[in-house]
């Protein structure tokens, strides 16, 4: 592959594809938020919070980290300057080394107009072990993030980063691109592989790792949860990154590997089936609880229950007639929006319900659970009560917020007799 052609292909193809999606979705989100005062406040709050927290972190790094310069690690600084220049960075980023308690990592960032690269000390220590190229790979990888403007556009892309799978897919594609850039500009594919292996196993053991066997774990270590772990991650799995570099720079000498997908598809099917079963169980449990609400009311009592409601719940016909004769409001509501008629239905008191209906009880009153007396009779599988309510003007076509009618509930509960009398 010719040098110019190779350099033109350093950007991983999927990076631009995912970038188009995340930019579009992020811009649409910002536009949606910007059409209201509340949305604008949210946008400003997010930006303010992000800048403030980021500034606090950067402030600590600038003061406590060791800045690489002509006077501090001069050899590393000289090579870093050359690498940045070759890569086309117009301004040399500030480089800091910080203690990481053994962790091996690095990151690029930007605060206002200053680009920064932060190296964990465990990586820089490799210079003492004559692994300078590996350190340069890590440094060049972060330079590549700056070159590709990944850091600058992070605020713009923030909304899309919350979309499951999409945001992480874009970030993984960026990692592939930066691996290519780094390996190309340090002119050492072997050092690139060593650096990535070091991130996997540490600076003591990485020289002893069989890279081919490590890459072959793409074929031997697979399955749904392996796949899912990567899809939720911002970085590709390390054997995959090493293999991608090998295929890009030396395709002819790299044995082609394939990730088995069979278990992934089985896992996806199982996961979707589990979600469906779980959702059905939750929905069924919700409906059962809704159906049993009246038992809780009877056990705990409801604020605002009137003497008429108490008499209705006890099927005390004589008291009901007396209270109505004394002027009791047949359609008065309790704290849950239930009338005395609701209470008769909860308890299956058909005789009391008949008297209430004869005295003007509204069979279509909707309580705070969006249930009518007719729906409550369905929850109770009370066919006689349902027939009585229908005869007295109950509306079988009422639709609650779940999109259900009394007939739909009867269908869900499998009560054929109720379905027959409620049939539209």
DSSP 148-216: TTTTGGGTTTGGGGGSTTHHHHHHHHHHHHHHHHHHHHHT-HHHHHHHHHHHHH-TTTGGG--HHHHHT
CA distance 404 to 395: 13
The predicted pLDDT at position 310 comes to 87
C-alpha torsion angle, residues 292, 297, 300, 301 (rounded to 10)? -170
Winning range, highest mean pLDDT, from 22-26, 44-48, 276-280 = 22-26
The predicted pLDDT at position 96 comes to 95
CA distance 309 to 229: 57
pTM metric for this prediction:
0.63
* 38: DSSP letter: H
Q: Any idea where the domains of the chain sit in the sequence?
A: 3-260, 292-422
**Per-residue pLDDT at 298 exceeds 50:** no
The predicted pLDDT at position 30 comes to 84
41-46: long-range contacts at Cβ-Cβ below 8 A with a sequence spacing of 24 or more?
Answer: 46/158
Q: Looking at the domain 292-422, which fold is it?
A: 1.25.40
Residue predicted with more confidence, 416 or 277:
416
The predicted pLDDT at position 288 comes to 55
- Strands, sheet with 106-111, edge to edge from the N-terminal-most edge strand: 66-68, 94-98, 114-120, 106-111
The predicted pLDDT at position 54 comes to 83
pLDDT in tens, 322-372: 999 999 999 998 888 889 999 999 888 999 999 999 999 999 999 888 889
Enumerate residues 6+ apart whose C-beta is below 8 A from 17: 173
Interstrand relation of 114-120 and 106-111 (parallel, antiparallel or unpaired): antiparallel
CA distance 299 to 333: 19
CA distance 278 to 290: 18
Q: Counting beta carbons within 10 angstroms of the beta carbon of residue 294, is it exposed (0 to 12), middle (13 to 18) or buried (19 or more)?
A: buried
208-212: long-range contacts at Cβ-Cβ below 8 A with a sequence spacing of 24 or more?
Answer: 211/242, 212/255
CA distance 216 to 193: 14
What is the arithmetic mean of pLDDT over 278-303? 55
């Amino acid at each position: 592959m010719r040098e110019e052609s190779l350099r033109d292909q350093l950007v991983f193809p999927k990076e631009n594809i995912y970038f188009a999606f995340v930019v579009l979705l992020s811009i649409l989100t910002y536009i949606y938020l910007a059409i209201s005062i509340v949305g604008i406040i949210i946008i400003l709050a997010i930006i303010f919070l992000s800048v403030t927290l980021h500034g606090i972190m950067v402030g600590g790094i600038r003061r406590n980290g060791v800045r690489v310069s002509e006077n501090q690690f001069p050899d590393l600084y000289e090579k870093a300057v050359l690498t940045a220049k070759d890569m086309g960075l117009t301004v040399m980023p500030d480089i800091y080394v910080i203690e990481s308690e053994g962790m091996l990592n690095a990151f690029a960032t930007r605060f206002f107009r200053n680009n920064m690269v932060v190296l964990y000390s465990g990586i820089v220590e490799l210079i003492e072990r004559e692994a300078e190229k590996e350190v340069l790979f890590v440094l060049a990888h972060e330079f590549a993030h700056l070159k590709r403007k990944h850091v600058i556009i992070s605020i713009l892309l923030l909304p899309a980063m919350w979309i499951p799978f999409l945001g992480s897919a874009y970030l993984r594609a960026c990692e592939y691109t930066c691996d290519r850039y780094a390996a190309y500009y340090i002119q050492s594919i072997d050092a690139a592989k060593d650096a990535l292996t070091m991130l996997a196993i540490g600076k003591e053991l990485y020289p002893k790792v069989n890279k081919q066997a490590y890459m072959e774990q793409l074929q031997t270590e697979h399955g749904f949860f392996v796949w899912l772990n990567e899809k939720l991650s911002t970085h590709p799995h390390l054997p995959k990154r090493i293999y991608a570099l090998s295929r890009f720079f030396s395709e002819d000498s790299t044995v082609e590997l394939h990730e088995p997908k069979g278990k992934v598809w089985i896992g996806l099917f199982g996961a979707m089936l589990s979600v469906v079963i779980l959702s059905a169980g939750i929905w069924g449990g919700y409906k059962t609880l809704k159906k049993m609400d009246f038992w809780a009311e009877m056990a705990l009592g409801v604020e605002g229950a009137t003497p008429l409601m108490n008499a209705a719940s006890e099927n005390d016909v004589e008291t009901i007639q007396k209270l109505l004769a004394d002027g009791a409001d047949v359609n008065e509501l309790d704290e849950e929006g239930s009338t005395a008629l609701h209470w008769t239905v909860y308890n299956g008191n058909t005789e009391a319900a008949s008297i209430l209906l004869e005295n003007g009880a509204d069979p279509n009153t909707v309580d705070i659970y969006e249930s009518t007396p007719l729906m409550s009779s369905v929850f109770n599988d009370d066919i006689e009560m349902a027939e009585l309510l229908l005869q007295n003007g109950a509306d079988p076509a009422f639709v609650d917020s779940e999109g259900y009618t009394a007939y739909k509930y009867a269908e869900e509960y499998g009560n054929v007799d109720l379905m027959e009398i409620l049939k539209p």
